[in-house]
Structure 1
Amino acid sequence: MHVTGTHFTPFADRTDAGRRLAARLGHLSGPDTVVVALPRGGVPVAAEVAAVLGAPLDICVIRKLGVPYQPELGMGAIGEGGVRVLNEQVIRLASVTDDQLAEVERRERVELERRARRYRGDRPPTDVRGRVVVVVDDGIATGSTARAACRIVRERGAARVVLAVPVAPRDWIDRLDEVADELVCVSTPSPFFAIGEFYADFSQTEDEEVLRLLAEAHDSAAAAPAAASATTTAARATSGTAAGVDRELVLPAAGVRLAGRLTVPAGALGIVVFAHGSGSSRHSPRNRYVADRLNRAGLATLLFDLLTEAEEADRRNVFDVALLGSRLTAVARQLNTGSKPEAAPESAAAAVTETRGLPLGLFGASTGAAAALHTAAELGPAVRAVVSRGGRPDLAGAEELSRVSAPTLLVVGALDVTVLDLNRRAARRLRCERELAVVPRATHLFEEPGALDEVAELARDWFLRHLPEPGSATVDP
């Protein structure tokens, strides 16, 4: 269950809302995830989420079943595929007969099928059986539609249901906790009167926009395998024996196996290992965004999980800097020296070989920043540069901070007041080259427009300044 903060910057529009919501959903990336939007307003939001997660985008067309003599009072809802969710208590209290219920359902079923044909055309609904389904709308007001949508995708066989919205009332978890396995929201401001008050542009989403977004998502999903094949072929053709690498791998460290994503551009100038923060993983959309910018600048990256799935359940592990730092150090040693780890799987050995000799940098976010500094202190000159994003360098401890020799950049949002103060104190304890970069109008997660771009640029420039050997050619960023 995600707990959201109260600080809130209004959304520019539904697209902006979708991007900010997607930044909280990186842990759901994977081939088994489907994003389902509530038309019409939920589609622009869901399109951004689906793009970030690399997941197919579909819609959940719902029609409320209103009490015959009081249509605004819902006695249930229907969805595609004959799915029906009834509120037996309302039906009983309103004395609705079976014939009345059947007539209302018949009428609404005609309209549901008309709308489904309008939006989906001849494409069948995405099969959600056994998959993770992320139900997305542009906000929660009463929650009745979202409740029906969650129940409908569950009826269609979803293994896990996640309800994700940009904005909702503070009590939304109490209202909807039982209909979804996970609830994710960007902000729960108070007072809350209507969804539209939290958008600068909340104009109606037209059918044409819904059709365009669904078509683009469908075309993108269909083109993805061909694009991936073309990219691989091009890389092999242009890079000779130094072909680029982009794949999942497993690395052993201190008795556990840690999953990661390794990307090595042809002719890489160095490698940056990412240490993720509390509650995050190698799928973090923010770190993936920064990593992509580094890759385009000619830097290799490794995003990997510092904890196993079982260990993540114990929150104490998230703040165990000694544990996190020791694992980061073990992985960094493998990558930096190219030595084959004992009993390492073939994929790990290949990854080590491909990164052998590359100058090493570390990028830490939140508590991961303390782990990065722990490793920098442990490895000394082997670490050439460190960048911390919204980090907690103070958790590394005064003694380890004083031992860090790698040039260190601390990046903090100007509105992240407490963390900014902790970074200022930590900077005073560092004895290496150091800088504190404060991003204006940014909060802890750098969700504000342009904030994450500035983080990526700062990190890119810092690593390009300190990682490559003098005279190395750099890629135009």
Structure 2
Amino acid sequence: MNTPLARFESREDAAAQLAGALHAYRGQSPLVLAIPNGGVPLGRELADALAGDLDVALVSRLALPGNAAATIGAITEHGWTYLLDGPAGGQPDPADVAKEQVAKLDRLRQQCAIYTSHRPRPDPRGRIVILADDGLATGATMMAAIHMVRRQHPARVVCAVPAGLADGLAAVRPYADEIVCLRVAGLGPDISHLYHCFPEVGDAEVRMLLRHDAATAGAEGGRALADAMPVDIDCGGAVLHGVLDAPANPAGLVLMVQANGHGEHTVRNQYVARKLNASRLATLLVDLIAPREPMRKDKRQDVALLTGRLRKVMQAVPGLVLARLRLPAVPLACFGTGTAAAAALRVAGEAGNRLRSLVLAAGRPDLAGAESLRNVAIPTLLVIGAGDPEGIRVNDLAFAALHCPRQLRLVAGAGRVFEEPAAIEDLVALANGWLLQSIAGAEPGAA
């Protein structure tokens, strides 16, 4: 019999209660596959409590165009799609469904690179698999996850959620070997009201929660794995939050700077960082605008402010390298986007700076100023989307003003920030090749 409806304090509290209900699986080396992003904190606690392994089940909810809260189905990382029969928001147009599929599949591929490119993924074959999420509403994402894991021939599939809506649980029940749900709620739009504390979970937190299993796999398999470490950098009144990803014996460190102030690094930058890590380059992602900082919009355009903060970040790098990487020094490069690209150029044009290479992606190099552009001496790569005519214009002018080894490369695609999967892959290839050559001491070919 289900317990009386009550609120959980947090995902961690829910996981502790759920682990009690799953105690029979302790000692059987279960594989907990958590549905990101909210299911991963819960999955981490479950895996630890049951002495199992943790990985992510990369599936995503499909929403009704124009109504993000209305679920129409779910899609797996391999493109298999489950569509609800008679969704609450009405039957969507097939063209809208196709557009949503492309967008969510792109996001899943990026998540795969962010979460898993630095470690082997556990094989579910022959194992007890526990699919975990922080709640179940329509059951669409769980259905997609079941389909995905069944193709890998597990011994048993258990769906574990702290709370679920009755209709969604009924839809999933025929396809799972077992369902464990602590609270069965009535009809409603979601299950967040069943938690006192229900914060959003970002990609950086997911990576941190997966880190323990990555380190264990590395110890067993002899692989050098990247390790994500949060860092705080005091810039005189503003504390900037960064993430340091450090493979063993890195060939260099790439400062990846943006000026958004959203409190979360862009998926694009995280994806590029994971790919650079795989090439033995450490990365430090830093937003030069602190989250919830007053007048963020104005500060994004204040290149002098951003330049000063980038100097502070660079001053902190030797200490971070010594304390976190346990290395005396590593070659330093910078990957800048937007207005942060202008700040990177100004710093690169200053005497005595330690930068060896620049990559500026969808940047505003024109804001750096003519004098700074003339003074840059290090190899500089400008990358811009072919679908951004204004970006092409300002980057072309900056390219003409630079006198250093440089290249200007266009990436095919309709957007200006490399939204399409092929565009971001092209960006990764260009940045990776340029940085490796210049950090290693061999100048890339100048234009």
TM-score by length of 1: 0.55
CA change 1:28–1:434 in 2 (3 A) is: farther
Letter in 1 for 2:213: A
CA change 1:238–1:224 in 2 (3 A) is: closer
Aligned counterparts of 2:383 and 2:374: Cα–Cα separation in 1: 19
Aligned counterparts of 1:452 and 1:126: Cα–Cα separation in 2: 42
Letter in 1 for 2:219: T
- The aligned residue for residue 61 of structure 2 is 37
Aligned counterparts of 2:106 and 2:244: Cα–Cα separation in 1: 25
Decide which of 246, 252, 257 is 1:275's aligned counterpart. 257
**SS of residue matched to 1:152:** coil
Aligned counterparts of 1:27 and 1:332: Cα–Cα separation in 2: 32
- The aligned residue for residue 412 of structure 1 is 384
CA change 1:447–1:248 in 2 (3 A) is: same
Decide which of 227, 230, 247 is 2:213's aligned counterpart. 227
Decide which of 175, 178, 189 is 1:122's aligned counterpart. 178
Give the conservation status (yes or no) of the 8 Å contact 2:361–2:384: yes
Shift of 1:310: 2.8
Shift of 1:456: 0.6
Give the conservation status (yes or no) of the 8 Å contact 2:245–2:284: yes
Aligned counterparts of 2:42 and 2:288: Cα–Cα separation in 1: 23
Aligned counterparts of 1:398 and 1:269: Cα–Cα separation in 2: 32
Aligned counterparts of 1:43 and 1:284: Cα–Cα separation in 2: 22
**SS of residue matched to 1:421:** helix
Aligned counterparts of 2:310 and 2:242: Cα–Cα separation in 1: 12
1:446 and 2:418 are equivalent in the alignment = yes
1:60 and 2:137 are equivalent in the alignment = yes
1:314 and 2:346 are equivalent in the alignment = no
1:358 and 2:330 are equivalent in the alignment = yes
Residue deviations 1:355-388 (CA, integer Å, cap 9, x gap): 5421111000122211211221235552111001
Give the conservation status (yes or no) of the 8 Å contact 1:36–1:58: no
- The aligned residue for residue 244 of structure 2 is 262
Name structure 2 gaps, 5 residues minimum: 1-35, 44-55, 63-70, 77-100, 116-131, 141-161, 201-205
Decide which of 290, 298, 311 is 2:280's aligned counterpart. 298
Letter in 2 for 1:447: E
Letter in 2 for 1:117: R
Aligned counterparts of 2:299 and 2:40: Cα–Cα separation in 1: 24
Give the conservation status (yes or no) of the 8 Å contact 2:321–2:327: no
Shift of 1:348: 8.1
Give the conservation status (yes or no) of the 8 Å contact 1:47–1:57: no
Give the conservation status (yes or no) of the 8 Å contact 1:385–1:463: yes
Shift of 1:290: 1.0
CA change 1:264–1:112 in 2 (3 A) is: closer
Give the conservation status (yes or no) of the 8 Å contact 2:340–2:363: yes
Structure number with greater CO (CA < 8 Å, separation at least 6) is 1
Shift of 1:412: 0.4
CA change 1:60–1:405 in 2 (3 A) is: same
Letter in 2 for 1:326: G
**SS of residue matched to 1:289:** helix
CA change 1:355–1:417 in 2 (3 A) is: farther
For the pair shown, the structure with the greater C-alpha radius of gyration is: 1
Letter in 1 for 2:266: S
- The aligned residue for residue 152 of structure 1 is 190
CA change 1:267–1:224 in 2 (3 A) is: closer
Shifted more, 440-449 versus 386-395: the winner is: 440-449
Counting only pairs closer than 5 Å after superposition, residues 67-466 of structure 1 correspond to structure 2 as: 112-118=168-174, 122-124=178-180, 151-157=189-195, 224=210, 227-233=213-219, 245-278=227-260, 283-311=265-293, 314-335=296-317, 338=318, 340=319, 350-351=323-324, 354=326, 356-378=328-350, 380=352, 382-466=354-438
Shift of 1:410: 0.4
Aligned counterparts of 2:428 and 2:39: Cα–Cα separation in 1: 21
Q: Share of identical aligned residues, percent?
A: 31
Give the conservation status (yes or no) of the 8 Å contact 1:265–1:298: yes
CA change 1:28–1:294 in 2 (3 A) is: farther
Letter in 1 for 2:249: G
Aligned counterparts of 1:281 and 1:434: Cα–Cα separation in 2: 32
TM-score by length of 2: 0.58
Letter in 2 for 1:157: Y
Aligned counterparts of 2:397 and 2:171: Cα–Cα separation in 1: 58
Name structure 1 gaps, 5 residues minimum: 1-25, 64-79, 84-108, 128-147, 163-219, 341-346, 472-477
Aligned counterparts of 1:28 and 1:309: Cα–Cα separation in 2: 21
